[in-house]
Structure 1
Amino acid sequence: SGLKAAFNKELVKTGKINKEEGKLFNKLFGMRQEADYEDFFAIEEEDVAPLLPKIKNLIAEIEALMTKEQ
């Protein structure tokens, strides 16, 4: 998708977002795509719960970049 490509090109490859957070974004993006387009896709709490601290950190990083760029 264009969003995923732009995120990686503009944020990960430039070092504004680190590679681990880029991998997390790609994983979450893939999960969202599957949930949207697969007939029977379920995300279990035990699969997502360990990711929550990392997700919160990624959101904070993106918010900081948005504030900085304004």
Structure 2
Amino acid sequence: MTGTKNDLINYRIARAKDTYDDASILAEREKWNSTINRLYYAAYYAVMALLLDSDLKPTTHNGAKSNFSEYFIKTGKIDSKYGKMYSQLFTWRQKGDYDDLFDFHKDNVEPYFEPVNDFISMIESMIQK
């Protein structure tokens, strides 16, 4: 890593926002499996920024999910609805990427746009405090 810790945190927040925008473009084209992938990664980059802000450096996606749950959901710092959302996106991203003969549909995916956007904004606000 080059740059400061804050540089990396800011980069991850920017990446979360860019990836969220990518999800919107994919949704317009009705590429639902890819949209879920991008929504998950948008949330993941935000989580990784938050964890780094707390000096936590998981090396796997499972590690990020575990650290997020342990240090932010179970402690009540972040509403449990976001923990459930992140876990669901984690599971669905794996299904969409690795399971054969599995396709998401608009009705499954579209309800996640607003919560993921809110999630990224909330994490950005928490980091700036």
With the shorter chain as reference, the TM-score category is: 0.7 to 0.9
Structure 1 equivalent of residue 116 of structure 2:
55
Q: CA RMSD for the aligned pairs?
A: 1.5
**1:36 paired residue number:** 97
Unaligned runs of 5+ in 1: none
What is aligned with 1:45?
Answer: 106
- Alignment partner for residue 22 of structure 1, among 80, 83, 106? 83
Return 51-60 or 23-32, whichever deviates more: 51-60
CA distance in 1, matches of 2:113, 2:84: 14
Structure of greater Rg: 2
Percent sequence identity over aligned pairs: 35
DSSP-derived class of the 1:16 partner: coil
**TM-score (normalised: structure 1):** 0.78
CA distance in 1, matches of 2:103, 2:128: 34
Q: Number of residue pairs matched?
A: 68
- Mapped to 1, the partners of 2:128 and 2:91 lie a distance apart of 27
Scaled by the length of structure 2, what TM-score is found?
0.47
